[in-house]
Chain A
Amino acid sequence: MTVARQQQSQHLDRAGSSALVDVVDLILDKGLVIDVYVRVSLVGIEILTIDARIVVASVDTYLRFAEATNRLDIARSGTETHGLPGLMDEIQESGGKKKTKGALEGVKESVSDLLRDDDEEDREPEAEERERPRRTRGSHSHRERER
């Protein structure tokens, strides 16, 4: 990613980011596929890919949104962010270790943890039902086609 260029941007966030979610969105499944130029010498290295395109419109999400809406302190017009919104910010910052894994950023960061450290298998049982990214092994790997 690029270095932050602090010009006169006051509202626009120009901070160069190396957040995994940004990188994943930017590069996965993007870029030129070169099979057409090199066939025989492509090497079949196993690629760990992240299937990050999860469906968010679930009952679980509805309930979270209902909860967030109910917790809005409308009379006081929002000086505090308790409840879900605050929690979700926290998830993003802490890399998705919290129980509510709704925000995609959180989910993706948790994948990064998973990739980095396989010992971390003591996942919370409640998380079973939630949307989780699937780590597909080798789905993009080019097999050697020498013959």
Chain B
Amino acid sequence: MAEDERACYVYGVVTGDRPDESVKDLPAVGDPEAPVTLVRRGGQAAVVSEVPVDKPLGTPEDLRAHARVLDHLAAQGAPVLPFRFGTVVRDTAAVTDELLAEGHDDFARGLDRLRGRTQLTVRARYDQDAVLREVVTEQPEARRLREELLGLPEDAGYEQRIELGQLVMDSIAAKRSVDALELDRRLAPYAVGSVSEEPASPEGLVNASFLVEDAKRQAFEEAAEELAAHWHGRVRMRLLGPLAPYDFVADATLEGKEGDE
């Protein structure tokens, strides 16, 4: 391939009635100077920009640019179907003649089902001191090991340390499943879909994504605030969004998946 060869990065698909200005002045993936544009066909539009093909994608700025474009579109109050990071096709002809032509029905289904809905993501983590205090208070064995270790010099008691650490982590894991359930119980009633994953960090509680109808968003946010207040001091809750429906787009485009309405 020639060194200056360019290809077409695809962020996602929106309805064709979006104005060109809806993606104006947003930094693009791969080449921040490249304009982000809409390529229309059949009442739908793909959100694209030019990328150089000789440079790998995936820097932090690339990831942020991808999310920024999609979340910007999601925040404008019309549906957007986010594509997986790194989707690149040959040129805009491939976008219209293949992507939008072939995918039309699936995209129409997805856009229709996601209309008036956005993703809200809650990231909850324990305050480490607070959760450790709870564990020591609730677990006599942790208290015993701790007191045993307090009398020992720094380099002694290796096995007790391992035992204590393991007990603490197990106790936190048990709390995590109870608390994640509580979070879902309180927030899911305001959502039409939810997905949660366990965070990889040891003091993480849960990363939970909800698909929320615009009309329910305020109630959802109030419920989240209420829970954050309830957990104040022991759990830090962050709410991201409205976001593009990253966790829900795949199901929304599937045929005959209307059951989870």
A residues with CB within 8 A of B: 1-2, 7-18, 20, 22-34, 36-38, 40-43, 45-50, 52-54, 56-57, 59, 61-70, 72, 74, 77-78, 81, 84-85, 88, 102-105, 112, 115-116, 137-138, 140-142
Q: How far is the CB of A40 from chain B (nearest CB, A)?
A: 8
Contact A72 B94 (CB under 8 A): no
Contact A56 B103 (CB under 8 A): no
Chain B 38-75 interface 0/1 with A at a Cβ cutoff of 8 Å (1 = within): 00000000000001010111111001101110010001
Q: Which listed residue, A31, A48, A104, A140, touches B82 by the CB 8 Å rule? A: A31
Contact A85 B128 (CB under 8 A): yes
Q: Which listed residue, B98, B106, B160, B246, touches A38 by the CB 8 Å rule? A: B98
Contact B236 A70 (CB under 8 A): no
Write out the residue numbers on chain A whose beta carbons fall within 8 Å of the beta carbon of B121. 26
Contact B165 A81 (CB under 8 A): no
Query: Assuming A27-B66, A45-B88, A47-B56, is B240 touching A2 (CB within 8 A)?
Result: yes
Chain B 229-252 interface 0/1 with A at a Cβ cutoff of 8 Å (1 = within): 101100011111111001101100
Write out the residue numbers on chain B whose beta carbons fall within 8 Å of the beta carbon of A32. 12, 81-84, 110, 249-250, 253
Contact B238 A13 (CB under 8 A): yes
Q: Bound complex: CA of A52 vs CA of B98, how far in Å?
A: 33
B residues with CB within 8 A of A: 7-8, 10, 12, 51, 53, 55-60, 63-64, 66-68, 71, 75, 81-91, 94, 98-99, 102-103, 106, 110, 121, 123, 128-130, 132-133, 135-136, 142, 146, 149-150, 160-162, 164-166, 168-169, 199-204, 207, 221, 224-225, 228-229, 231-232, 236-243, 246-247, 249-250, 253
Q: Bound complex: CA of A72 vs CA of B77, how far in Å?
A: 47
Q: Which listed residue, B128, B135, B200, B231, touches A56 by the CB 8 Å rule? A: B200
Write out the residue numbers on chain A whose beta carbons fall within 8 Å of the beta carbon of B166. 62
Q: Which listed residue, A14, A70, A72, touches B133 by the CB 8 Å rule? A: A72
